Amino acid sequence: MSKLIDTTVEKYKLRFAEIKDIPLILEFIKKLAEYENLLDDVTATEETLMNSLFIRNVAEVIIGEYDGKPVSQAIFFYNFSTFDGKLGIYLEDIYVEPEFRGKDLGKILLKYIAKLALERDCERFEWACLDWNEPSIKFYKRLGAVPKDEWVIFRVSGDALTDLANDSDK
């Protein structure tokens, strides 16, 4: 059993995910995707999560429990800044069950990951947010996060990734 980490909210504790949490992790991923209107984009399975999180160890998951019930999670991994020459932490997903939003649980998760970033000698902690998600944008700005509007995220996936890897001209 993962060690429980006390927080400033009574009955809310954090812990690092374990293999037994894979179904829960996938459930929270799907709930977040549904909120973001991206549920059709979820292709993760329990098997792919097992491989990525617990065999290859490419990302970490923190589970938040309220009175022993899982109600939130954060998934993060290292990135690297060539300008700083140091690691950073990239938050891939943060999810809090709707009935627990507005109770500082998301803030506690973010603060904990920020502390991990400092403990692990990371230079920065960053994440992306959908441009229509005004409640989250306002929340992040209140925490001191600064949007990087001058950067545009590019993604190559699916057939385009295969084509690029195979040097196909388009």
| Distance, CA of 2 to CA of 13 (rounded, Å) | 11
Question: How many secondary structure helices (H) and strands (E) does the chain include?
Answer: 5, 6
Domain presence at residue 158: yes
Nearest to 100 by CA among 71, 75, 140: 71
The whole-angstrom separation of Cα 100 and Cα 94 is: 13
Does residue 107 belong to any structural domain of this protein?
yes
Tell me which H or E stretch contains 6. strand 5-6
Residues 3 and 91: their CA atoms lie apart, in Å, by 21
| Dihedral sign, Cα of residue 140, residue 146, residue 148, residue 154 | negative
- Residue 124, in any domain of the structure: yes
d(CA 142, CA 116): 20
Q: Which residues pair with 63 in a beta bridge?
A: 15, 73
Measured CA to CA in angstroms, residue 155 lies from 3, 111, 160, 165 at distances of: 37, 28, 9, 14
Cα–Cα separations (whole angstroms), residue 49 to 30, 53, 106, 116, 158: 13, 6, 22, 22, 19
In a domain, 161, yes or no: yes
Q: Band of the pLDDT at 170, cuts 50, 70, 90?
A: low
Report whether pLDDT(21) > 70: yes
Q: What is the pTM of this model?
A: 0.92
The total number of structural domains that make up the chain:
1
Separation between Cα atoms, residue 143 and residue 125, nearest integer Å: 12
Which residue has tokens 């229509």? Answer: 132
pLDDT tens digit string along 98-141? 999 999 999 999 999 999 999 999 999 999 999 999 999 999 99
Determine whether 140 is an active site residue. Answer: yes
Write out the residue range of the structural domain in which residue 87 sits: 5-165
CATH of the domain at 92: 3.40.630.30
Residue 54 located in a structural domain:
yes
Largest CA distance in the chain: 58
Residue 170 lies in a domain: no
Segment 69-95 mean pLDDT: 97
Catalytic site residue from 12, 35, 66, 140: 140
Whether residue 38 lies inside any domain: the answer is: yes
Q: How confident is the model at residue 168 (pLDDT cuts 50, 70, 90)?
A: low
